C-alpha cells in the first residue's frame, strides 16, 4: 500500500487542539473587557436664576451605580468647572451624607458647558441647556381653607408660610370683616376653641384698625383642626372652622422679616429629627437665589440646630425654604417649611414689594408699619421653583460601557472566527489527504473509494464548526 505517514503532522494536530482553547480564552477575555462594572457619576439639577444677582444656584448629586441600583456617593472633594461663552466659574466642595452638594455659579443664565470631577475621575461632562419657556408659576392664594364660615362677621385666616411644623409655634393672622359691606372691623375678640391638637399662647386676641388679629398656636400633631370664634363690641359674631396644613417632620425656620441690602440674611434652623443635614434655599419670584446643605449640631439634649448666613441679595421679596431631603423644596412637600422675608432699606420700601396691594399699603400711623409688614408677609403665598436635569453623568458612563461591550464582543467573535477558519482549514486539509490516500489504496486494489469515510470526515468538520457557532451565539446572547 502507498501513501504512508500520518494524515496530520504533529504541529497540525497541536493546532487542532489549541485553536478551540485559544478561542475560549479569547471569549473569556472579551467577556471580561465588556463586562458591566460599578460606575460613579454625577447628576446636576438646574433651576432658573433669580433676580438677586447671585448667579445660578444649582444642585449636584453623586451616585455609585451597580447592576442598576444607585447609592449616594459621599465624596470629600468635587470640582465643577462651568463655562458660558468666554466666562468661566469654578466650584469646589464635598458631598454630604446624601451625596449632594449645593453650588453657586456666578454666571448668567444661558447655555453652559459643565465638567464635574472627583480627583482624577470624570463624573459628568456636557452642555447644560436651559429648557425654553421655563418659568416659576405665580404665587397661589395664601388664605387657609375652611370647612365652615358663618355669622355676621366673616373671618379669613392666613398662616405665615402656609404650612406649619408640629411642635413649633405658628404665626396665624385672622382678618375680621363685615359680612355685608366687607369692611374691616376693629376691636373684634378672636378666641380659638380649645383643642388637644394645638396650644395657643393667649386665649383671646383683638383685631386692630385694619381688622387683623395675631394668633400664635403650636401644633401638637399632624392633623390640626381649628375653630375660631369672633365677637365684635356691638354683639356681632362669626365663626371659622378649618385646619392648619402641617408639614410632617418640618423644621423651625426663622428669619428677620426685613433684611437690609448691605448684609446677608441670617437663617436659623431647628430640626425635630435626628438628621445631621438640612437643605436650605432662598427663592424669589423668578428662581433660585441661593442654597446650602447645612450641617446640624445638637448639644445638651436639644434638637439639632444651625445658623447660616446667606450672601447679600438685591432688594425684593424672597422665600426661605428648609427641607429634610435634597429634593424636598422642589415640590414644597412633606418635611418642608417656608418663611417669606423682604430685602429692603426700610419697612415702607418693603411694603411696596408686597403681593397684596391693599394689605401691603403703608399705614397712616408709623407705629402700625411693623404689624402691616407681618400681615403682608403672611399673604405672600409660596410656590416651588421649577427644576430640570441639566446634566446626567450616567449617560456618558453608560456610553463608555457600551463601547467596552462592543470591544469585548469584537474580540470574542473575532477569535471565534479565526479559530473556525483555522480549524476548518486543518480538517479539510486532513480530509483531502485522507481521501487521496484512500483513492490511491483503492486503485491498487481495484476497488472504489469508500464514500462513507468521506462523509464521516465532512460530518466531523460540521460538528466542529457547530461547536464554534454555539460559542459565538452564547457570546452574542451575553452581550
pLDDT of residue 1: 42
Is the confidence at residue 275, as pLDDT, over 80?
Answer: yes
pLDDT of residue 341: 97
Asked which of 108-122, 268-282, 298-312, 409-423 is least confident by mean pLDDT, the reply is: 409-423
Is the confidence at residue 454, as pLDDT, over 60?
Answer: no
pLDDT: which is higher, 123 or 26? 123
Averaged pLDDT for residues 291-311: 90
Is the confidence at residue 297, as pLDDT, over 80?
Answer: yes
Averaged pLDDT for residues 286-295: 94
pLDDT of residue 108: 87
Residue 118: enclosing H or E segment and its boundaries? strand 112-118
Contacts of residue 456, Cβ cutoff 8 Å, sequence gap at least 6:
none
At 272, list the grid cell.
425635630
φ/ψ bin of 124: left (φ > 0), alpha (ψ from -120 to 50), beta (otherwise): beta
pLDDT tens sequence across 344-376: 999 999 999 998 888 898 888 888 888 999 999
What percent of the chain lies above the pLDDT cut of 70?
Answer: 76
pLDDT of residue 462: 59
Asked which of 138-142, 165-169, 219-223, 325-329 is least confident by mean pLDDT, the reply is: 138-142
At 198, list the grid cell.
394645638
Find out whether 152 and 159 touch, Cβ atoms under 8 Å.
no
pLDDT of residue 3: 47
DSSP one-letter string for 309-343: EPPP--SEEEEEEEESSTTGGGTT-TT-EEEEEEE
At 8, list the grid cell.
496530520
Strand order in the sheet with 146-151: 146-151, 237-244, 224-231, 189-192, 205-206
pLDDT tens sequence across 32-84: 655 556 788 999 999 999 999 999 999 999 999 887 788 999 999 999 999 99
With cut-offs at 50, 70 and 90, classify the pLDDT of residue 457: low
Find out whether 409 and 476 touch, Cβ atoms under 8 Å.
yes
How close are the terminal C-alpha atoms of the chain, in Å? 54
pLDDT tens sequence across 380-417: 998 899 999 999 887 766 666 666 666 666 666 676 66
- Whole-structure pTM value: 0.78
Contacts 24+ apart (CB under 8 A), 121-125: 121/40, 122/396, 123/40, 123/41, 123/42, 123/62, 123/78, 123/393, 124/41, 124/42, 124/43, 124/44, 124/391, 124/392, 124/393, 124/396, 125/391, 125/393, 125/396
Is the confidence at residue 2, as pLDDT, over 50?
Answer: no
pLDDT tens sequence across 127-184: 987 787 776 677 777 899 999 999 999 999 999 999 999 999 999 999 999 999 999 9
The pair phi, psi for residue 389, each rounded to 5°, is -80, 105
Is the confidence at residue 306, as pLDDT, over 60?
Answer: yes
Residue 414: enclosing H or E segment and its boundaries? helix 393-445
pLDDT of residue 28: 64
- How high is the mean pLDDT of the chain? 84
User: Smallest Cα–Cα separation from 159: which of 168, 146, 170, 148?
Assistant: 170
Amino acid at each position: 500500500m502507498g501513501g504512508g505517514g500520518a494524515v496530520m503532522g504533529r504541529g497540525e494536530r497541536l493546532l487542532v487542539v489549541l485553536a478551540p482553547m485559544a478561542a475560549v480564552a479569547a471569549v473569556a477575555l472579551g467577556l471580561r473587557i465588556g463586562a458591566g462594572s460599578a460606575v460613579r457619576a454625577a447628576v446636576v439639577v438646574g433651576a432658573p436664576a433669580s433676580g438677586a444677582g447671585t448667579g445660578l444656584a444649582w444642585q449636584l448629586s453623586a451616585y455609585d451605580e451597580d447592576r442598576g441600583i444607585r447609592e449616594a456617593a459621599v465624596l470629600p472633594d468635587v470640582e465643577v468647572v462651568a463655562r458660558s461663552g468666554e466666562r468661566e466659574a469654578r466650584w469646589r466642595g464635598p458631598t454630604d451624607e446624601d451625596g449632594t452638594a449645593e453650588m453657586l455659579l456666578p454666571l448668567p443664565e444661558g447655555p453652559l458647558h459643565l465638567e464635574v470631577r472627583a480627583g482624577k475621575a470624570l463624573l459628568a461632562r456636557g452642555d447644560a441647556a436651559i429648557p425654553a419657556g421655563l418659568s416659576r408659576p405665580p404665587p397661589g392664594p395664601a388664605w387657609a381653607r375652611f370647612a365652615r364660615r358663618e355669622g355676621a362677621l366673616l373671618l379669613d385666616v392666613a398662616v405665615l408660610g402656609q404650612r406649619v411644623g408640629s411642635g413649633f409655634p405658628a404665626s396665624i393672622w385672622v382678618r375680621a370683616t363685615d359680612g355685608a359691606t366687607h369692611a374691616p372691623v376693629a376691636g373684634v375678640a378672636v378666641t380659638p376653641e380649645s383643642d388637644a391638637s394645638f396650644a395657643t399662647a393667649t386665649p383671646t386676641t383683638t383685631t386692630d384698625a385694619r381688622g387683623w388679629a395675631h394668633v400664635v398656636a403650636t401644633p401638637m400633631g399632624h392633623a390640626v383642626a381649628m375653630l375660631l370664634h369672633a365677637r365684635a363690641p356691638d354683639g356681632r359674631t362669626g365663626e371659622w372652622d378649618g385646619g392648619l396644613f402641617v408639614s410632617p417632620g418640618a423644621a423651625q425656620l426663622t428669619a428677620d422679616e426685613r433684611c437690609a441690602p448691605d448684609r446677608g440674611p441670617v437663617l436659623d434652623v431647628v430640626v425635630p429629627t435626628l438628621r445631621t443635614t438640612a437643605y436650605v434655599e432662598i427663592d424669589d419670584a423668578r428662581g433660585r437665589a441661593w442654597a446650602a446643605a447645612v450641617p446640624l449640631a445638637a448639644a445638651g439634649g436639644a434638637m439639632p440646630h444651625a445658623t447660616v448666613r446667606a450672601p447679600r441679595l438685591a432688594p425684593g421679596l424672597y422665600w426661605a425654604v428648609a427641607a429634610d431631603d435634597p429634593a424636598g423644596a422642589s415640590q414644597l412637600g412633606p418635611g418642608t417649611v417656608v418663611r417669606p422675608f423682604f430685602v429692603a432699606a426700610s419697612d415702607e420700601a418693603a411694603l411696596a414689594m408686597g403681593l397684596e396691594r391693599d394689605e401691603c399699603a403703608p399705614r397712616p400711623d408709623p407705629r402700625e408699619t411693623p404689624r402691616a409688614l407681618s400681615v403682608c408677609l403672611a399673604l405672600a403665598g409660596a410656590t416651588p421653583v421649577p427644576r430640570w436635569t441639566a446634566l446626567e453623568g450616567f449617560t456618558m458612563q453608560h456610553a463608555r460601557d457600551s463601547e467596552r461591550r462592543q470591544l469585548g464582543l469584537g474580540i470574542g467573535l473575532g477569535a471565534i472566527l479565526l479559530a473556525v477558519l483555522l480549524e476548518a482549514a486543518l480538517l479539510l486539509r486532513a480530509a483531502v489527504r485522507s481521501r487521496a490516500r484512500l483513492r490511491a489504496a483503492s486503485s491498487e486494489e481495484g476497488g472504489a473509494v469508500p464514500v462513507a469515510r468521506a462523509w464521516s470526515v465532512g460530518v466531523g468538520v460540521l460538528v466542529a464548526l457547530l461547536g464554534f457557532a454555539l460559542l459565538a451565539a452564547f457570546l452574542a446572547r451575553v452581550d
